[in-house]
Amino acid sequence: MERDGFVALVDAVASSLGIGAAAMMTFRTMIASTRPSALKRGPDEPCCYLSQNEIAHKRGVTACRIREHEAALVRAGLIEKRTMANGARSGFSGCGVFFGVAIARVDEFLCLRDEIEADRRAHARLRGQRSSHKRHLKGILCELVERHGLTAEVERIHQTFAEWPSGQALHRMSLEELQNHEAEAEALTISASNFLHETHDRPLENERFHIQDTTQDSNEVPCNDHVDTRSVGKPTQSIVSGPQPSGRVRCLERQDGAASEAHKSKFIQNLGSDRLYDLCSEEMKMWLDIERQKRGRLDFHAFVIAAQKRLPELGIHPSAWEEAVNLLGEDAAMLCVLITDAKVADPEATILSAGGYLRGMVRAQRKGTLNIMGSLIGLNERSRRRQ
């Protein structure tokens, strides 16, 4: 391993070893004074012979800070100090700061780096799923309030939703905390979706509104107006303002490039969830079966979550999904993943990189040449021929 590669490896796992940024800078300064070849071959162990004062001068800090950093690095098992009785360091006497203890742990550090990277990817995936839950729940709340007003059940859902942490706060959560929050967010979203489905044709005129005082400050709930997703453009977003004297709420339109209607999709409505399910790969169907079991049915949100869970299995970087969502909207992005996944599973198709194929669909959309419906028709025709 080259010296720079070794330093990069230690830097990747430093936080897990309890090493802060300042102590890591001191580590870099010390190891930079060693011979690069000493890390790869030869009997000599890499060693820094610089005194603490010299290191402090290079770092622009006091010698006292360097002593603190060295003590932390020793505790973390990254360096070993062998000095004279008076603390002196000398290449002639073989006294200094040695890095053999860290080099001996390279395999351990490689495993730890892989674990950290896996946790980072899992964290990013969970944040993406929470974002989908949030968009979906906003649309459901908008429709519930528009149809029935702020009933007790709608107000309960809204209050719970309002307590969700912000997107920035998600980054500060541990993986376990985020897993618990995402599970709670999904449960609330499914509960709200089922409530909307159950009350879709049932009038609620006899239910008492939880909020009757129209003079109080309103809690705004963003929602999305009806959008023709075939245009794959940026739709209009609305804001649900406070309850009106009639007990209803008023939607105020605004154009700001919001995401498409999150709780229902024309693609799903026109194709039908069962027909779309038949076009999926077996792996995608497994995730959809799990979502169906949770919800009791397949809706648009189930397809979105299943698509997101397929991303790491396909080796697609989360940034490719985010790019697709930002440009196409969540429904079209989900269909792009579904098409990519189905073609990867097709023995007649040769897809070298699922991520590259998805990004290619995004580039086609920018050029105005993307034809999602044509791709779905092609998948349907291949499915019919095999049957």
pTM, rounded to two decimals: 0.67
Backbone φ and ψ for 367, nearest 5 degrees, come out as -85, -10
What is residue 220's DSSP assignment? -
C-alpha count within 13 angstroms, C-beta hemisphere, residue 164:
29
* Residue 387 pLDDT: 65
Tell me the longest C-alpha to C-alpha distance in the chain: 93
Render 18-46 in DSSP notation, one character per residue.
T--HHHHHHHHHHHTTS-GGGGTSSSSPP
Q: Are 245 and 258 in contact (CB under 8 A)?
A: no
C-alpha count within 13 angstroms, C-beta hemisphere, residue 11:
14
* Residue 41 pLDDT: 65
**Closest alpha carbon to 158 in 218, 207, 221:** 221
**Closest alpha carbon to 318 in 32, 121, 155:** 121
Q: Which two tokens stand for residue 233?
A: 């453009």
Cα(305)–Cα(300) distance, rounded to whole angstroms? 9
Cα(192)–Cα(190) distance, rounded to whole angstroms? 5
171-200 confidence digits (pLDDT tens): 999 999 999 999 999 999 998 888 887 766
* Residue 260 pLDDT: 37
State the Cα angle at 347 between 345 and 351, rounded to 5°. 65
Element (DSSP H or E) covering residue 47: strand 47-48
* Residue 9 pLDDT: 95
The stretches in the chain having pLDDT less than 50 are: 201-263
Q: Which residues pair with 48 in a beta bridge?
A: 97
Q: Which residues pair with 47 in a beta bridge?
A: 98
Helices and strands (DSSP H and E) totals, the chain: 17, 6
Element (DSSP H or E) covering residue 224: strand 221-224
Distance of CA 93 to the CA centre of its chain: 53
* Residue 35 pLDDT: 81
Total number of residues shown for the chain: 387
**Closest alpha carbon to 364 in 306, 323, 314, 319:** 323
* Residue 209 pLDDT: 30
C-alpha count within 13 angstroms, C-beta hemisphere, residue 240:
26
39-96 confidence digits (pLDDT tens): 776 677 888 888 889 999 999 999 999 999 999 999 999 999 987 766 677 766 678 8
Cα(32)–Cα(60) distance, rounded to whole angstroms? 16
Q: Which two tokens stand for residue 178?
A: 């985020």
Q: Are 258 and 236 in contact (CB under 8 A)?
A: yes
